[in-house]
Chains A and B, each alone.
Chain A
Amino acid sequence: MTTTSETGTPEAFQPADNGAGKAASYAAASEWRLMWYKFSRHRLAVICGIIVLLLYVVAAFVEFVAPYDPEAQNPASAYQAPTRIHFVDADGQFHLRPFVYGTSSQRNLDTFELEFVEDTSARHHLSLFVQGDDYRLWGLFPSNLHLFGVEDADARVYLLGADRQGRDLLSRIIHGTRLSMSIGLAGVVMSFFIGIVVGGVSGYFGGTIDIVTQRIIEFVRSMPTIPLWLGLAAALPSNWSVMQVYFAITVILSLIGWTGLAQVVRGRALALREEDFIMAARLCGTSRTRIIFKHMVPSFMSHIIAALTLAVPEMIIAETALSFLGLGLRYPAISWGVLLQEAQNLRSVALAPWLLAPGAMVVIAVLALNFLGDGLRDAADPYRR
């Protein structure tokens, strides 16, 4: 009969520990640490993650980040082109601080077009944390501090140009970030609940329940989404407030969006039911609730986070499309889709192509979320062999 030290393994561990602390920290790394190791090697996903994070920070502090009140009209600046930022003044002198010149508009009597002319007599330096239009942060805290702007209250800087009413487009896009990015989140949270419940029930119980829910999901998925949205959105009363419309749109989007999540949850639940460690837990006398919350839910949490991230951009696109068609959010709400409505007619696009900038924001946000989601999905199962 051999003793444990002969049959045993303590010696066998030593080679693995030769890598010193690194091996030990890997050995003691939790699932989230392992996921982070894997995710952080996905360079593009990390960059996109930072972009997404920035977008949500901006969305949280729009009033502060935007240089102007998005509704502040300035008829003199209608369709004004993006202001040029200068480092070198009209005399050819270099300045370390960027500055802009004031502009005045005048009608060109040959072409009858409005032209903007820089008034090079006074430089207006761009500064951080300037005082400007009054606002209430989150509708609560009165302030007039803005992230950047020009100190001189008379001069205005239009980094992305102005719209028909001479409103600063950049400020409007920044304000649009809040609705556009949050409607994605809110829609996903709603579909998350529907998806988890339906998918969980379907996968956990299996059998006839599973077959029936699967057919329902397939039915919902087979409906053409655009006409359905159009129909549902058109049914919204036109006298609803911005908030009411916002929530109604969220519900409409998530009524269709939950199916993908339900399928992810169902797939994971079905796979987990077959895992030996679930049976092992049962045979250890672990209660059903404990199995669900300590074994099953943590096992698919990471997959769900990845699926959620991939669902957000779908919601953003859907909102943009609806609002663009005038069936989603409406004035006075500001979202990227609403802003794009102004770019609907050819004439204004030809005259002021910067009106398409909100579209670029949609592209950036959607791409960033997609790459982030891909990275998360790849990292979601660090134990795959």
Chain B
Amino acid sequence: MSAIEPAFTPAGRRLLDVKGLTKHYPITRGLLRREVGRVRAVDDVTFHVDEGETLGLVGESGCGKTSTGRCLLRAIDPTDGQIIFDRGDGKPVDIAQSEGGSLKALRRDMQMIFQDPFSSLNPRWTLLDLVGEPLVAFGVSKGKALEERVAYLLERVGLRPEYMRRYPHAFSGGERQRIGIARALALNPRLVVADEPVSALDVSVRAQTLNLLEELQQELGLTYLFISHDLSVVQHICDRVVVMYVGKVVEVAKTADLYFTPRHPYTEALLSAVPKPDPEQQSSRIVLQGEVADPSNIPSGCAFHPRCPYAIEKCRTVVPVLETIGDGQQVRCHRAHELSLRGVE
């Protein structure tokens, strides 16, 4: 199917194939909006998503994970690249090239769960309007049938159906996030892009939401693209993980491989930096120097070289490519073969 690399898990059919996805934002000056530079938010990103899996997209702020997720849904338009979506009818479509009616048709199959449960729900609408919005937009149901479907959805995410005439201001953050999940599921999508779905929630409420997402996945056969900066949550919920750094994919691997035998020095440092809720397991950690590079002024060679403890001269000058090593682990590092990096215990 794709010439780029063999599938890791032949278990699932390939649902989404992202090839060379690029999103640049021009930096303009003056009234005539002369372009003086570019923010390379997403730069030649390639990965795929198998049906039924949860793919994690991790990285620090400014790494382009959110922009990538939004390009996939065409919430923003990519500058370049292909997003091949296979709906199982034998006719894969390129989301990046879809417009108008064909794009709207695609929206039935892909939905989004937002980070902020407050701003993602119009406070002026009742739960019925909010959860029913996609159903109305696609003319799927109305009147009594709409109410029944919304009641079912609310119940499914653990909210009382009788509350469908209420407004979101009466609900807490965790409950609002459930409303958002119900809306995302209204049209029975195949792919759900969840952008930091639990990071705005209270700690004691996060697990409920994560469990709910897992339950729904099993029941409805959903495929998740799970965008997060929280590596503990990602390890818990994801089957495979894509690590991004300043707009580029630096490592792709099955979750266990990535966490126990990371191949990229950045992945190693990220894993090491996570504070572990166990005072007796505090190992010495790799503290990176400096800060995440500015995507409008990316360092030469490997973007990570100024912070990398293993950097050599080549890293300063030559941009590494994403290559497959070992058991299908993809990594973008010149020294991937020789380094032996430390994962989590």
Question: For the complex, is B112 an interface residue (Cβ under 8 Å from A)?
Answer: yes
Task: Specify which chain B residues have a CB less than 8 angstroms from the CB of A23 in the assembled complex.
Answer: 170
Task: Specify which chain B residues have a CB less than 8 angstroms from the CB of A207 in the assembled complex.
Answer: 33
A111 smallest CB distance to B (angstroms): 70
Contact with A9, one of B119, B126, B159 (Cβ below 8 angstroms)? B159
Task: Specify which chain A residues have a CB less than 8 angstroms from the CB of B158 in the assembled complex.
Answer: 4-5, 7-10
Contact B124 A31 (CB under 8 A): yes
Question: For the complex, is B122 an interface residue (Cβ under 8 Å from A)?
Answer: yes
Question: For the complex, is B257 an interface residue (Cβ under 8 Å from A)?
Answer: no
B4 smallest CB distance to A (angstroms): 28
Contact with A284, one of B126, B170, B183 (Cβ below 8 angstroms)? B183
Segment at the interface with B among A78-86, A94-102, A285-293, A354-362: A285-293
A346 smallest CB distance to B (angstroms): 54
A10 smallest CB distance to B (angstroms): 6
Question: For the complex, is A383 an interface residue (Cβ under 8 Å from B)?
Answer: yes
Known: A2-B211, A285-B104. A34 touches B138 (CB 8 A): no
Contact B121 A277 (CB under 8 A): yes
Contact A279 B122 (CB under 8 A): no
| Alpha-carbon gap, A295 to B123, bound state (A) | 10
Task: Specify which chain B residues have a CB less than 8 angstroms from the CB of A283 in the assembled complex.
Answer: 73, 75, 107, 111-112
Contact B75 A4 (CB under 8 A): no
Question: For the complex, is B56 an interface residue (Cβ under 8 Å from A)?
Answer: no
Contact with A7, one of B116, B160, B163, B211 (Cβ below 8 angstroms)? B211
| Alpha-carbon gap, A7 to B163, bound state (A) | 18
| 0/1 interface trace, chain A 9-30, chain B, CB 8 Å (1 if under) | 1101100100000010011111
Q: Could you tell me which residues of chain B, from 211 to 225, have a CB within 8 Å of some CB in chain A?
A: 211-212, 214-215, 218
Known: A27-B167, A284-B134. A7 touches B208 (CB 8 A): yes
A372 smallest CB distance to B (angstroms): 23
Contact A285 B119 (CB under 8 A): no
| 0/1 interface trace, chain B 207-245, chain A, CB 8 Å (1 if under) | 010011011001000000000000000000000000000
Question: For the complex, is A223 an interface residue (Cβ under 8 Å from B)?
Answer: no
B313 smallest CB distance to A (angstroms): 44
Question: For the complex, is B1 an interface residue (Cβ under 8 Å from A)?
Answer: no
| Alpha-carbon gap, A365 to B155, bound state (A) | 53
Task: Specify which chain A residues have a CB less than 8 angstroms from the CB of B218 in the assembled complex.
Answer: 1
Q: Could you tell me which residues of chain B, from 149 to 203, have a CB within 8 Å of some CB in chain A?
A: 155-160, 163, 165-167, 169-170, 174-175, 178, 180, 183, 186
Contact B122 A299 (CB under 8 A): yes
Known: A28-B167, A279-B75, A383-B123. A285 touches B156 (CB 8 A): no
Task: Specify which chain B residues have a CB less than 8 angstroms from the CB of A29 in the assembled complex.
Answer: 167
Question: For the complex, is B31 an interface residue (Cβ under 8 Å from A)?
Answer: yes
Question: For the complex, is A280 an interface residue (Cβ under 8 Å from B)?
Answer: yes
| Alpha-carbon gap, A26 to B33, bound state (A) | 48
Which of chain B's residues has its CB closest to A32's CB? B124
Which of chain B's residues has its CB closest to A298's CB? B124
Number of A-B pairs, beta carbon distance below 8 Å: 111
Which of chain B's residues has its CB closest to A287's CB? B137
Contact B104 A276 (CB under 8 A): no
Q: Which of A9, A207, A212, A275 has the most CB of B within 10 A?
A: A9
Task: Specify which chain A residues have a CB less than 8 angstroms from the CB of B33 in the assembled complex.
Answer: 207-208
Question: For the complex, is A136 an interface residue (Cβ under 8 Å from B)?
Answer: no
| Alpha-carbon gap, A186 to B323, bound state (A) | 70
Contact A277 B119 (CB under 8 A): yes
Contact B170 A26 (CB under 8 A): yes
Task: Specify which chain B residues have a CB less than 8 angstroms from the CB of A30 in the assembled complex.
Answer: 124, 167
Task: Specify which chain B residues have a CB less than 8 angstroms from the CB of A13 in the assembled complex.
Answer: 160, 163
Known: A2-B211, A7-B211, A284-B183. A27 touches B170 (CB 8 A): yes
Q: How many residues of chain B are within 8 Å of chain A by beta carbon? A: 48
Known: A281-B133, A299-B122. A27 touches B138 (CB 8 A): no
| Alpha-carbon gap, A283 to B178, bound state (A) | 18
Question: For the complex, is A43 an interface residue (Cβ under 8 Å from B)?
Answer: no
Main secondary structure of the interface of A (DSSP, over half): helix
Question: For the complex, is A367 an interface residue (Cβ under 8 Å from B)?
Answer: no
Contact A28 B166 (CB under 8 A): yes
Contact A285 B134 (CB under 8 A): yes
| Alpha-carbon gap, A4 to B160, bound state (A) | 11
Which of chain B's residues has its CB closest to A383's CB? B123
| 0/1 interface trace, chain B 97-129, chain A, CB 8 Å (1 if under) | 000000010011001101010111111101000
| 0/1 interface trace, chain A 30-51, chain B, CB 8 Å (1 if under) | 1100100000000000000000
Contact with A299, one of B120, B124, B180, B214 (Cβ below 8 angstroms)? B124
Task: Specify which chain A residues have a CB less than 8 angstroms from the CB of B138 in the assembled complex.
Answer: 285
B124 smallest CB distance to A (angstroms): 5
Contact with B137, one of A27, A275, A276, A290 (Cβ below 8 angstroms)? A290
Contact B119 A7 (CB under 8 A): no
Which of chain B's residues has its CB closest to A381's CB? B123
Question: For the complex, is A282 an interface residue (Cβ under 8 Å from B)?
Answer: yes
Question: For the complex, is A347 an interface residue (Cβ under 8 Å from B)?
Answer: no
| Alpha-carbon gap, A24 to B235, bound state (A) | 40
Known: A10-B158, A27-B166, A299-B124. A286 touches B119 (CB 8 A): no
A29 smallest CB distance to B (angstroms): 7
Contact A9 B178 (CB under 8 A): yes
| Alpha-carbon gap, A12 to B170, bound state (A) | 13
Task: Specify which chain B residues have a CB less than 8 angstroms from the CB of A275 in the assembled complex.
Answer: 119
B47 smallest CB distance to A (angstroms): 21
A384 smallest CB distance to B (angstroms): 10
Which of chain B's residues has its CB closest to A3's CB? B215
Known: A4-B156, A9-B175. A31 touches B123 (CB 8 A): yes
Task: Specify which chain A residues have a CB less than 8 angstroms from the CB of B137 in the assembled complex.
Answer: 284-287, 290
Question: For the complex, is A57 an interface residue (Cβ under 8 Å from B)?
Answer: no
Contact B215 A277 (CB under 8 A): no
Contact A276 B31 (CB under 8 A): no
Question: For the complex, is A107 an interface residue (Cβ under 8 Å from B)?
Answer: no
Known: A13-B160, A27-B163. A282 touches B75 (CB 8 A): yes
Contact with A276, one of B116, B155, B167 (Cβ below 8 angstroms)? B116
6 contacts between A and B (CB under 8 A): A12-B175, A208-B32, A212-B31, A284-B183, A285-B137, A286-B134
State the B residues within 8 Å of A (CB).
31-33, 73, 75, 104, 107-108, 111-112, 114, 116, 118-124, 126, 133-134, 137-138, 155-160, 163, 165-167, 169-170, 174-175, 178, 180, 183, 186, 208, 211-212, 214-215, 218
State the A residues within 8 Å of B (CB).
1-2, 4-5, 7-10, 12-13, 16, 23, 26-31, 34, 207-208, 211-212, 275-277, 279-287, 290, 295, 298-299, 382-383, 385
7 additional contacts (CB under 8 A) given A30-B124, A299-B124: A9-B208, A28-B170, A276-B120, A284-B137, A284-B186, A285-B108, A286-B133
